[in-house]
Amino acid sequence: MKTGAFHTGIYPNYLAEAGVSDEAAREKVNSAFQTIFFDPEENFCHHTDEDAWCMVDTGNIDARTEGMSYGMMMCVQMDRKDIFDRLWTFTERYMLMKQGREEGYFRWSVHIDGSSNSEGPAPDGEEYFAMALFMASARWGDGEGSFNYSARAREILHHCVHQHEIVPGGEPMWEPGNKLIRFIPEMKISDPSYHLPHFYELFALKADEADREFWKQAAEASRKYIAISAHPVTGLSPEYADYDGKTVLLFRKPWVYYSDAYRVAENIALDRIWFGAEPALDAVETRIQDFFAKQDMEDLRAYELDGTPQREPAMHPTAIKAVLGAASVGSCSESRIRFLRQFAALPMRKGVRRYYDNCLYFFCLLMLTGNYKIYI
């Protein structure tokens, strides 16, 4: 029997186990969305033009494809086409690269006035853009030009898979042989937190017909990769890893479990909600909860994969607590309810670093309340 919301249409309110009713859960979701987009002090949505808004990385004061695509997914889930279209207009107007070997990709970072801050893409943005666009098409229908959502989603995915065939010197975002997503197109390594097998399952239904088998294989490959790249005892994942799952150190950071890596637990949880249990991935969630159950939750650090704490404090402690709540979806840890309760009581982050923490918080809130749904 197949499980998961894709097959059953059922999206449980996991926070009910922590005493949060369906009504209270929906109120939490609405309040968080209002904070992110409209709170006078704590929002991080900037109105660059009347018709073009951007999500601001408040720690770096730029707009990133990560945040733009996250914002679009938030708007699809909340049925806010008005904001979605403004975010997508900014993305197409200021981030889309129209020539050179990166043609068809999006600049991973621009200034909030839209001026360029980079000339390269980051694949986690492209995959979220495509998924948000497919879902927008399903919820609201396709329009014209940039607002022909499903057509643009297919174009994005076509570039991701075939860039090396489309433009001279181009590099694909997925490795053609093993179907694993690259950290950036030019580097043949991956980032475990980029792996979204639940998205690839849906791409296998909606992408160009010729590429649908590719996406089926990518989903299977990603589930295996997530499992092999996580530590067998702690469940911690590296920020960057070779295709065999072994850790790669980049950007002179000597620690391994850090900001990008937090998303792995969140991604496993959503894959389980949508497409059902994978024992190897449930084991990762169990191990990571068991590990953090022994840590001081008020003094979270950067960690080695074996759990050795580093002197470097965690830059995004709210994000860690949020994904530990999400891990309860599949975890068998004795601390499972503890982390659900911790999440139910967790406030959104305020201040300079609120962007990343609150993006992860919101997605975990959606999934734990039964409000992160498939529209396809």
**Annotation: CATH topology of 1-43+230-239+253-376:** Glycosyltransferase (1.50.10)
**Res 16: pLDDT:** 98
Residue 260 among the catalytic residues: yes
Residues 156-182: pLDDT tens digits? 999 999 999 999 999 999 999 999 999
Q: How confident is the model at residue 28 (pLDDT cuts 50, 70, 90)?
A: very high
When the pLDDT of each residue in the chain is averaged and rounded to a whole number, the result is 97
**Res 130: pLDDT:** 99
Give domain limits for the chain: 1-43+230-239+253-376
82 or 1, higher pLDDT? 82
**Res 182: pLDDT:** 98
From the list 260, 271, 285, 290, the catalytic residue is 260
**Res 162: pLDDT:** 98
Q: How confident is the model at residue 254 (pLDDT cuts 50, 70, 90)?
A: confident
Residue 66 among the catalytic residues: yes
Q: How confident is the model at residue 253 (pLDDT cuts 50, 70, 90)?
A: confident
Give the 3-state DSSP-derived string for the chain, with helices as H, strands as E and coil as C: CCCCHHHHCCCCCHHHHHCCCHHHHHHHHHHHHHHHHHCCCCCCEEEEECCEEEECECCCCEEEHHHHHHHHHHHHHHCCHHHHHHHHHHHHHHHECCCCCCCCCECCEECCCCCECCCCCCHHHHHHHHHHHHHHHHHHCCCCHHHCHHHHHHHHHHHHHHHHHHCCCCCCCECCCCCCECCCCCCCCECHHHCCHHHHHHHHHHCCHHHHHHHHHHHHHHHHHHHHHCCCCCCCCCCCECCCCCECCCCCCCCCECHHHHHHHHHHHHHHHHHCCCHHHHHHHHHHHHHHCCCCCCCCEEECCCCCEEEEECCCHHHHHHHHHHHCCCCCCCCHHHHHHHHHCCCCCCCCCHHHHHHHHHHHHHHHCCCCCCCC
